[in-house]
């Protein structure tokens, strides 16, 4: 059967969603997709566009890749606009003259920014804000400007103002309506938002209609307003709304709405049975939907109809929740109380800058809408209440009143939500989906998020996902306790606080005062780690040695045969030829299997217990220190060669990597910590897969946090941009110490972040804004660790009593006679001796080394 | 240094053992792991039957309810110090040895 040929015109967010949905459909083999884009690249995340100005790269914004399309047999043509449709012949023609036939055509042409007809308003520095090319033009213009104006104070306009602000322009917003976000907010909400935005240094001008733009006196342009006032500026960005991109449909006679938009039915079909339209170009029951969620919904409906299903598009809720320039804003349903008989409740807290309004039915039994500014925590519970038509509690105002004196605020608990309530709108996850996943065993937040995808889009529902988890675990009768183990009825964080506050220095003292029993393989290493983080005493002292796990107890990584690997520190991966020769000689002398690690170091395998002190004596004599490869501590700071040699390097990444490695070496943490420093955005050090990734820009360092390779890779989050050396180190000091204090045992920073209530924004508020007022303390604790560093191997070599332990037998110089080897590619590697070989060895026979010939 | 009088072999002085840790002794050609926990001595085979390596003396000591155990440093199976029984696999028990502190010496029964 010849596959049905589908042409998707437009590869934006919705066009891509359609393609992705069809690829994942079980009948995909019956279709062949071709997609055209007039833009030079495939689909990217337009919703996160302003992230471009916070250091996100185009790659970060991409939603798909040529690899993905190639792998799934999708043909894609970029930078070539479809200019003609022949409905009878079922073909399209592009600007470059390419003709393709289709069985079904999908128009996902999106929208374009509306530029009001203003006299003189088409100058070189009068721009729009929609595509990556627009952003590049704005950036270029900003470099030649001091002042920037955004025309339009709606959602997108404020995003754009934020962009201008971060480009260091004196930024203004000019709005025709009497308030900002006129569609979503009421007067009080708009006023509060305005105040907050003005506090950030952005000027807001409302009720201003721009009549003409002429040459300015101090700036490039002068904007002349209808009320006779004026404003001078060097550049202007229009953000006065969008218009559906329906030109193609107009030209080739598909039905078009009076005010634009391609008319579609409930299955997203246009007036031609072979042509669908989806997203912002489509007009459904006289409405255009300028949000991405309804567009995605249309894409799903259109795919379903194509493949023989009969699902319908039934409109969309336009409620929104977002953070604008750090200000939380949400609007739900009938925010303006336009429903007949609607009543409102409102709560205003000028001191904290919080405004909440509920719109309820005349009978006061149903929620119709809400406005939230400054605190949108209620959004998650209010939205399903409105969408599901749930009954309001008897005193609806309790939903927006704050908790006072320990009383519960926001009266309605998560248990009141029906299973059908949508928790995550980005990935369409309901409360019922979450509960099913919890019953299937996803009982940890990070796990629940990764298996349901809830909270992994915009992240706005994270807190609610956690509430559902906690409530459901309680409902299931599972005790929700985070006690470290049966010996301590405290969490790791509580134990850390106890050790700090009570100045406890040993496990025995902690166990005697706050625990019971002997301790175990969970609490001993965990407490050992906390003590090491806070007091930084020698880990093999009599007080601490019994706490150390497999690797720490002999300062090496135990391998499967009971021998150890040896990893000296090679900070930043920089090593002199002499150093390399020393390492080579040591490896050769002790016949150690030698390998380069992923962290730019050298690993020697197969060292026996009694050999460790001899090997380390030679290494420390040559100036090497322990690399802590065995510890839950800083491992390596990987670097590229950076500006010292590279043609593209912006900063000296090697020196920064060495500084960081020498600063944090030896610090014991809840788990291992890896870092990377790249000298430019080409990112050769793969820093974004590390716990701390640092990337040089032309303005300083960008800091990424909580990345992870391994079993569940996690791309690090951009934490701060354009930092100088001091600020960078200050932030890392604080974050590491905060992590050491608050993470569960054996938790990498990635999981810590996934489980951190409030996520990245919360971490920023703690580290940058010092919300918890602990930054001085964190820095002081870190200084203490740095000041008390000593190489553990050097300390051990100077301690004859401790060296006695480095012998296989306490009463003999004999060595373990069970070690067996395979010789391969010129080196020996370990194998496990067979039982027969062991028996022979017990009688004094040697175990043969097997050879592998390749 | 074999003390044949009482059929006990002296291994080392009691002070050599750090409380809460183990050492390995060569005893009659066998590897024996000896542990000191709150002053008490225990002795088990040093061979980990799961990891198939001579490592138990280098494990971590803990308690589960009233049972004091050694956890293998390789894959963390736990063995009761007083019986040699594996807490994580009822089928497996490792050999026990008689050990005592005698005149400040650690001794194993020959």
Nearest CA in chain B to A817: B54
- B29-80 pLDDT tens trace: 999 999 999 999 999 999 999 999 999 999 999 999 899 999 999 999 999 9
Neighbours of A34 (CB within 10 A): 18
Instruction: Kindly report the CATH number assigned to the domain that includes residue B78.
Output: 2.102.10.10
Per-residue pLDDT at A393: 82
Tell which CATH architecture fits domain A631-790: 2-Layer Sandwich (3.30)
CB contacts of A810 in chain B (<8 Å) are 11-12, 16, 23-25, 34
Test A816 with B58 for CB contact under 8 angstroms. no
Query: How far, in Å, CA of A489 to CA of A516, rounded?
Result: 9
Which stretches of chain A sit within 8 Å of chain B by CB?
486-487, 517-522, 524-525, 542, 545-550, 553-554, 558, 560-562, 804-805, 808-812, 814, 816, 818, 832-833, 842
Tell which CATH architecture fits domain A126-240: 3-Layer(bba) Sandwich (3.50)
Find out whether A794 and A620 touch, Cβ atoms under 8 Å: yes
Please name the residues in contact with A581: beta carbons below 8 A apart, sequence gap of 6 or more: none
The pair phi, psi for residue A30, each rounded to 5°, is -85, 0
CB contacts of A812 in chain B (<8 Å) are 25-26
Q: Which residues are registered as beta bridge partners of A32?
A: A5
Q: How far is CA A67 from CA A5, A42, A544, A665, in A?
A: 21, 11, 52, 40
Of the candidates A801, A804, A793, the one whose C-alpha atom is nearest the C-alpha of residue A623 is: A793
Q: Quick one: tokens of A483?
A: 């006690």
Chain B interface disruption, residue of A527, A550, A556, A817, most B CBs within 10 A: A550
Nearest CA in chain B to A549: B60
- Residue B1: pLDDT band (50, 70, 90) is low
- A209-264 pLDDT tens trace: 999 999 999 999 999 999 999 999 999 999 988 999 999 999 999 999 999 999 99
Q: Quick one: tokens of A670?
A: 């809840």
Do the domains at A552-626 and A631-790 have one common CATH topology?
no
Find out whether A540 and A792 touch, Cβ atoms under 8 Å: yes
Nearest to A811 among B20, B25, B78 (CB): B25
For the question of an ipTM over 0.85, the answer is yes
Find out whether A346 and A355 touch, Cβ atoms under 8 Å: yes
Per-residue pLDDT at A381: 81
Domain that includes residue B25, residue range: 2-109
Nearest CA in chain A to B38: A518
Per-residue pLDDT at A417: 76
Which stretches of chain B sit within 8 Å of chain A by CB?
1, 11-12, 16, 18-21, 23-27, 29-31, 34, 37-38, 51-55, 58-65, 68, 71, 73-74, 76, 78
Instruction: For strands A75-77 and A31-36, give the pairing.
Output: parallel
CB contacts of B70 in chain A (<8 Å) are none
Tell which CATH architecture fits domain A552-626: Alpha-Beta Complex (3.90)
Nearest to B54 among A546, A550, A818 (CB): A818
Domain count, chain B: 1
> In Å, how far is B37's CA from the nearest CA of chain A?
9
Test B26 with A812 for CB contact under 8 angstroms. yes
Q: What is the DSSP annotation of B31-97?
A: EEEEEEETTEEEEEESEETTTTEE-GGGSEEEEETTEEEEE-TTT--EEETTT-BBSS-TT-B--B-
Q: Please state the three-class secondary structure of A687-744 as a single string.
A: HHHCCEEEEEECCEEEEEECCECCCCCECCEEEEEEECHHHHHHHHHHHHHHHHHHCC
Query: How far, in Å, CA of A190 to CA of A211, rounded?
Result: 24
Cα dihedral value B15, B16, B22, B24, nearest 10? -140
> Of all residues in chain A, what percent carry a pLDDT higher than 90?
72
Query: How far, in Å, CA of A530 to CA of A333, rounded?
Result: 49
Per-residue pLDDT at A475: 83
Per-residue pLDDT at A754: 84
Query: How far, in Å, CA of A593 to CA of A565, rounded?
Result: 9
Fill in the DSSP letter of residue A410: S
Chain A interface disruption, residue of B60, B76, B107, most A CBs within 10 A: B60
Q: How far is CA A794 from CA A609, A626, A634, B18, in A?
A: 16, 8, 18, 21
Nearest CA in chain A to B65: A517
The pair phi, psi for residue A751, each rounded to 5°, is -70, -40
Sites in chain A below the pLDDT cut of 70: 403-413, 426, 456-460, 479-480, 853-854
Q: Is A178 exposed, middle or buried (0-12, 13-18, 19+ CB in 10 A)?
A: exposed
Test B76 with A812 for CB contact under 8 angstroms. no
Per-residue pLDDT at A397: 84
Instruction: For strands A593-596 and A602-607, give the pairing.
Output: antiparallel
Domain parsing of chain A, residue ranges? 4-111+244-306, 126-240, 492-549, 552-626, 631-790, 820-851
CATH class of A4-111+244-306: alpha beta
**The model's pTM:** 0.66
Please give the order of strands across the beta sheet that includes A99-101: A82-86, A91-94, A99-101
In a 13 Å sphere around the CA of A272, the CA atoms on its Cβ side amount to: 22
Per-residue pLDDT at A467: 80
Burial string for A122-154 (b: 16+ CB within 10 Å, else e) reads eeebbbbbbbbebbebbeebbeebebbbbbbbb
Please name the residues in contact with A633: beta carbons below 8 A apart, sequence gap of 6 or more: A665, A666, A667, A668, A669, A672, A673
Chain A interface disruption, residue of B9, B16, B18, B67, most A CBs within 10 A: B18
CA angle A318, A320, A321 (to 5 degrees): 170
CB contacts of A818 in chain B (<8 Å) are 53-54
């Amino acid at each position: 059967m010849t596959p049905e040929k589908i042409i998707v015109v437009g590869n934006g967010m919705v066009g891509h969603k359609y393609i992705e949905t069809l690829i994942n459909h079980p009948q995909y083999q019956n279709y062949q997709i071709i997609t055209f884009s007039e833009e030079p690249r495939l689909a990217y995340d337009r919703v996160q566009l302003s992230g471009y100005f916070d250091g996100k790269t185009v790659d970060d914004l991409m939603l798909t890749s040529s690899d993905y399309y190639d792998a799934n047999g999708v043909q894609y043509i970029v930078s070539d606009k479809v200019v003609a449709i022949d409905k009878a012949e079922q073909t399209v023609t592009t600007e470059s003259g390419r003709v393709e036939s289709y069985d079904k055509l999908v128009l996902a042409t999106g929208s374009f920014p509306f530029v009001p007809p203003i006299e003189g308003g088409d100058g070189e520095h009068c721009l729009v804000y929609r595509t990556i090319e627009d952003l590049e033009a704005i950036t270029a213009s900003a470099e030649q400007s001091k002042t920037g104006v955004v025309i339009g104070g709606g959602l997108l306009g404020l995003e754009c103002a934020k962009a201008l602000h971060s480009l260091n322009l004196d930024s203004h917003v000019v709005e025709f309506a009497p308030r900002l976000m006129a569609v979503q907010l009421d007067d009080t909400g708009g006023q509060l938002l305005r105040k907050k935005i003005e506090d950030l240094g952005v000027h807001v001008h409302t009720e201003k209609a721009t009549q003409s733009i002429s040459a300015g006196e101090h700036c490039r342009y002068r904007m002349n307003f209808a009320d006779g006032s004026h404003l001078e500026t060097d550049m202007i960005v229009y953000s006065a709304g969008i218009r559906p991109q329906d030109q193609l449909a107009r030209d080739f006679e598909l039905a078009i709405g009076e005010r634009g938009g391609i008319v579609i039915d409930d299955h997203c079909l246009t007036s031609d049975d072979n042509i669908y339209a989806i997203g912002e170009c489509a007009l459904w029951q006289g409405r255009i939907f300028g949000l991405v969620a309804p567009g995605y919904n249309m894409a799903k409906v259109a795919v379903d109809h194509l493949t023989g299903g009969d699902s319908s598009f039934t409109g969309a809720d336009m409620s929104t929740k977002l953070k604008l320039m750090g200000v939380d804003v949400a609007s739900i349903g009938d925010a303006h109380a336009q429903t007949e008989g609607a009543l409102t409740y409102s709560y205003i807290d000028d001191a904290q800058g919080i405004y909440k309004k509920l719109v309820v039915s005349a009978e006061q039994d149903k929620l119709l809408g809400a406005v939230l500014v400054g605190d949108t925590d209620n959004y998650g519970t209010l939205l399903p209440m409105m969408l599901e038509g749930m009954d309001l509690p008897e005193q609806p105002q309790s939903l927006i009143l704050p908790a006072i004196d320990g009383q519960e605020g926001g009266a309605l608990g998560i248990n009141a939500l029906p299973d059908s309530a949508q928790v995550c709108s980005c990935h369409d996850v309901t409360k019922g989906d979450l509960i099913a996943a919890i019953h299937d065993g996803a009982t940890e937040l990070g796990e629940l998020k990764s298996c349901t995808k809830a909270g992994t889009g915009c992240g706005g529902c994270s807190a609610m996902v956690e509430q559902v988890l906690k409530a459901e675990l309680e409902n299931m009768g599972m005790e929700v306790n985070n006690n470290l183990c049966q010996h301590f009825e405290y969490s790791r964080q509580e134990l850390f606080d106890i050790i700090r506050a009570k100045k406890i220095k040993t496990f025995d003292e902690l166990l005697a005062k706050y625990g019971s029993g002997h301790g175990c393989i969970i609490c001993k290493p965990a407490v050992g780690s906390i003590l090491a983080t806070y007091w930084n005493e020698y880990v093999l002292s009599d007080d601490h040695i019994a706490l150390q796990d497999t690797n720490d107890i002999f300062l090496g990584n135990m391998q499967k045969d009971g021998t150890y690997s040896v990893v000296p520190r090679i900070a930043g991966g920089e090593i002199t030829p002499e150093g390399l020769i020393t390492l080579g000689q040591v490896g050769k002398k002790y016949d150690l299997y030698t390998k380069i690690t992923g962290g730019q170091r050298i690993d020697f395998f197969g060292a026996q217990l009694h050999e460790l002190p001899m090997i380390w004596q030679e290494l420390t004599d040559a100036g090497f220190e322990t690399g802590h490869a065995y510890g839950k501590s800083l491992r390596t700071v990987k670097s590229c060669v950076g500006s010292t040699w590279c043609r593209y390097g912006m900063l000296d990444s090697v020196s920064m990597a060495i500084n960081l490695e020498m600063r944090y070496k030896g610090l014991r943490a809840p788990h291992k910590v890896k870092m990377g420093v790249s000298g430019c955005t080409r990112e050769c050090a793969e820093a974004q897969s590390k716990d701390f990734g640092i990337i040089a820009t032309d303005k300083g360092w960008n800091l990424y946090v909580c990345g992870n390779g391994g079993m569940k890779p996690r791309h690090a989050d951009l934490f701060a941009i354009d930092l100088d050396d001091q600020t960078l180190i200050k932030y890392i000091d604080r974050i590491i110490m905060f992590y050491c204090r608050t993470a569960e045992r054996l938790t990498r920073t990635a999981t810590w972040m996934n489980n951190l209530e409030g996520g990245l924004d919360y971490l920023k508020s703690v580290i940058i804004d010092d919300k918890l007022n602990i930054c001085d303390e964190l820095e002081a604790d870190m200084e203490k660790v740095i000041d008390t560093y000593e190489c553990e191997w050097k300390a051990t070599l100077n301690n004859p009593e401790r060296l006695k332990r480095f012998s296989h037998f306490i009463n003999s110089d004999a060595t373990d006679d069970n070690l067996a080897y395979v010789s391969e590619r010129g080196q020996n590697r370990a194998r496990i001796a067979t039982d027969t070989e062991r028996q022979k060895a017990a009688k004094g026979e040697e175990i043969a080394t097997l050879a592998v010939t390749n | 240094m074999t003390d044949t009088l009482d059929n006990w072999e002296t291994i080392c002085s009691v002070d050599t053992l750090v409380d809460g840790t183990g050492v390995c002794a060569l005893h009659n050609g066998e590897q024996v792991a000896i542990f000191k926990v709150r002053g008490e001595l225990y002795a088990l085979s040093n061979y980990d039957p799961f990891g198939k390596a001579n490592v138990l003396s280098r494990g971590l000591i803990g308690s589960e309810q009233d049972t004091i155990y050694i956890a293998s440093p390789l894959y963390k199976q736990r063995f009761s110090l007083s019986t040699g029984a594996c807490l994580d696999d009822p089928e497996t028990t490792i050999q026990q040895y008689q050990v005592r502190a005698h005149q400040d010496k650690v001794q194993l029964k020959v």
